[in-house]
């Protein structure tokens, strides 16, 4: 929830993939309400080359239920075993690096955002499975955004959620326990110790739930189990973390309401019935548009798809490859890129349809070749998806020496004659084609063979990294990058001055 720009999401994806060697059955749903920030999230997630990530664009406080279709055709609501709730905050914990906050900060920032933080975290608890963990975090030190939110949630949950003591999890981390008492200020800097002292004119800005509970209640809530990370203790920013565990199957307000829909059809039917009842009372209104841009559709390849047949035959793809989990982003046959997703992600996309606004998912595994050369297969293997698909490929593989690898990485369009006789002999058996290139020490690259060239499709930064791994001097490349950054900075300064 509130996942952009994506650094924490990347760590969650690493944890998911670190436990298994094949495609995990789990999924990371990374959501953000800001459409533009969602694309920052996509950029971060792409670095991990995961088949198990869904980037969605919804209001976290009203995050829709996600449904899965079981093997018997029934549907069930997805309940999460882990949720990271990194809510929007005033950001006053970043004062050391964020100079603008020194001019913009005021006490009203925390007061105004408190309600939104409670609603987001409350929705997160609703989506959590019994026994699941929700981590509530901010980069603020204001207790109204921290302990006041946690206390409000615990009181509303009436024992169905508890704070977890994590003080011993990271012995090297210096932190302070959560606060049990604090004061509330108005935008005029008037300080109040209880809600009874607040003038009626401020009741819309200062709520009763913002004040600390009584000492007896605070002891029961165990607010000291919250974690406060202060900047001066370890030369960091200021952060607040609370780990909440859901101990009950239902929350109090869920039990009081009528039965929740258990299938997507029931939920849609409920909405339709509500619309019919409303039409009898008020005039019909235009359907509310989904915020942001309309995304391209997710179209899964069928078994008899011509693209899949060509790729399968050309690369001698093993029968165990999950080809039904391949998808494109357009309805037309001339798809440019083919993505691979996990079985769970496919299930979610097909079950939920347009109800779930998915910005991006999957890892690129095959891309249409550029140029006008006639080839047996117009799709090459993508570097991002190579580690995933390589075990299933039965042909188009080469092994090369360290010297040949150096030529591949340093030349943009290396000629075949520049490589060793051993590699040229292997090329005679390939024909003009694309291929993955496994090195002796498990360095795997994706490339393409043209009429007279042998090209590596790897990003420039990755090329420099691989050269460094092989022990080659990369100082010249680093100087070029540094010079480009300096020139870019100068150009940006000049543009602003003009």
In sequence order, the 6+-apart residues with CB closer than 8 A to the CB of 338 are 301, 307, 311, 326, 327, 328, 364, 365, 366, 367, 379
Catalytic pick from 52, 89, 139, 382? 139
Q: How far is CA 305 from CA 263, 298, 299, 320, 433, in A?
A: 31, 15, 11, 17, 21
Alpha carbon distances (Å) from 340 to 185, 294, 428: 52, 22, 31
SS3 158: coil
Residue 34 annotated as binding?
no
Q: Is residue 32 annotated as involved in ligand binding? A: yes
Neighbours of 489 (CB within 10 A): 10
CB-based contact 135:227 (threshold 8 Å): no
CA distance 409 to 413: 10
Is 59 flagged in the annotation as binding? yes
* Residue 470 assigned to a binding site: no
Please give the C-alpha separations between residue 100 and each of 97, 205, 401, 492, in angstroms, as whole numbers.
Answer: 9, 24, 53, 20
- Sign of the Cα torsion 322, 324, 330, 333 reads positive
CB 300 within 8 A of CB 340: no
The first and second tokens of residue 484, run together, are 């480009």
Q: Is 139 a catalytic residue?
A: yes
CA distance 293 to 308: 30
- CA-nearest of 90, 91, 78, 18 to 48 is 18
Please tell me the total number of residues recorded for the chain in this structure.
498
User: Is 7 annotated as ligand-binding?
Assistant: yes
d(CA 111, CA 121) in angstroms, rounded, equals 16
Contact criterion met (CB below 8 Å) for 448 and 431: no
Annotated binding-site residue? 152: no
Structure tokens belonging to residue 458: 């790897």
Tell whether residue 3 is among the known ligand binding residues: yes
DSSP readout, 432-490? S-EEEEEBTTS-EEEEEE-SSBEEE---HHHHHHHHHHTT---HHHHHHHHHHHHHHHH
Burial class (CB in 10 A: 0-12, 13-18, 19+), 451: exposed
Report d(CA 220, CA 216) in Å as an integer.
Answer: 7
6 is in an annotated binding site: yes
Burial 134-161 (b: 16+ CB within 10 A, else e): bbbbbbbbbbbbbbbbbbbbbebbeebb
Q: For residues 454 and 452, what is the distance between their CA atoms, to the nearest angstrom?
A: 7
CA 222 vs. chain centroid, Å, equals 31
Could you list the active site residues?
139
> Which positions make up the binding site for S-adenosyl-L-methionine?
2-8, 32, 59, 86
């Amino acid at each position: 929830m509130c996942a952009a720009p994506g650094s924490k999401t990347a760590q969650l994806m690493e944890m998911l993939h670190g436990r298994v060697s094949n495609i995990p059955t789990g999924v990371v749903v990374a959501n953000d309400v800001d459409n533009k920030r969602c694309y920052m999230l996509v950029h971060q997630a792409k670095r991990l080359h995961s088949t198990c990530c869904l980037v969605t664009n919804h209001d976290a406080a009203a995050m829709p239920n996600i449904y899965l279709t079981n093997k018997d055709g029934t549907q069930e609501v997805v309940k999460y075993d882990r949720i990271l709730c990194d809510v929007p905050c005033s950001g006053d914990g970043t004062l050391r690096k964020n100079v603008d906050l020194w001019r913009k900060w005021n006490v009203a920032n925390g007061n105004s955002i408190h309600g939104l933080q409670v609603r987001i975290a409350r929705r997160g608890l609703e989506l959590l499975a019994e026994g699941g963990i929700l981590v509530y975090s901010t980069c603020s030190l204001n207790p109204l955004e921290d302990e006041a939110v946690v206390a409000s949630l615990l009181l509303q949950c009436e024992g169905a959620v508890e704070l977890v003591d994590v003080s011993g999890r990271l012995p090297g981390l210096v932190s302070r326990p959560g606060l049990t008492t604090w004061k509330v200020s108005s935008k005029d800097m008037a300080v109040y110790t209880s809600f009874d002292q607040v003038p009626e004119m401020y009741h819309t800005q200062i709520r009763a739930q913002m004040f600390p509970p009584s000492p007896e209640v605070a002891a029961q809530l165990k607010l000291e189990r919250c974690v406060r990370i202060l900047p001066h203790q370890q030369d960091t920013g200021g952060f607040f973390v609370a780990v909440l565990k859901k101990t009950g199957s239902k929350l109090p307000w869920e039990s009081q309401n009528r039965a929740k829909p258990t299938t997507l059809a029931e939920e849609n039917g409920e909405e339709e019935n509500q619309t019919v009842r409303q039409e009898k009372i008020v005039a019909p209104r235009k359907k509310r548009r989904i915020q942001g841009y309309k995304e391209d559709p997710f179209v899964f390849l069928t078994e008899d798809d011509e693209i899949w047949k060509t790729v399968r035959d050309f690369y001698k793809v093993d029968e165990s490859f999950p080809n039904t989990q391949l998808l494109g982003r357009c309805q037309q046959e001339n798809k440019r890129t083919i993505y691979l997703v996990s079985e769970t992600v496919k299930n979610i996309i097909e079950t939920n349809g347009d109800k779930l606004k998915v910005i991006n998912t999957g890892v690129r595994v095959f891309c249409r070749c550029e140029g006008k050369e006639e080839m047996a297969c117009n799709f090459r293997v993508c570097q991002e998806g190579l580690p995933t698909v390589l075990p299933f490929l039965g042909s188009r593989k080469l092994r090369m020496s360290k010297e040949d690898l150096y030529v591949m990485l340093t030349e943009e369009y290396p000629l075949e004659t520049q490589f060793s006789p051993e590699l040229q002999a292997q090329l005679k058996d390939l024909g003009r084609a694309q291929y993955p290139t496994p090195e002796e020490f498990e360095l795997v690259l994706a490339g393409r063979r043209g009429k007279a060239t042998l090209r590596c499709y790897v990003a420039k930064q990755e090329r420099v990294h691989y050269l460094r791994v092989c022990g080659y001097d990369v100082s010249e490349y680093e100087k070029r990058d540094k010079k480009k950054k300096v020139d870019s900075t100068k150009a940006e300064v000049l543009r602003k001055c003009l």
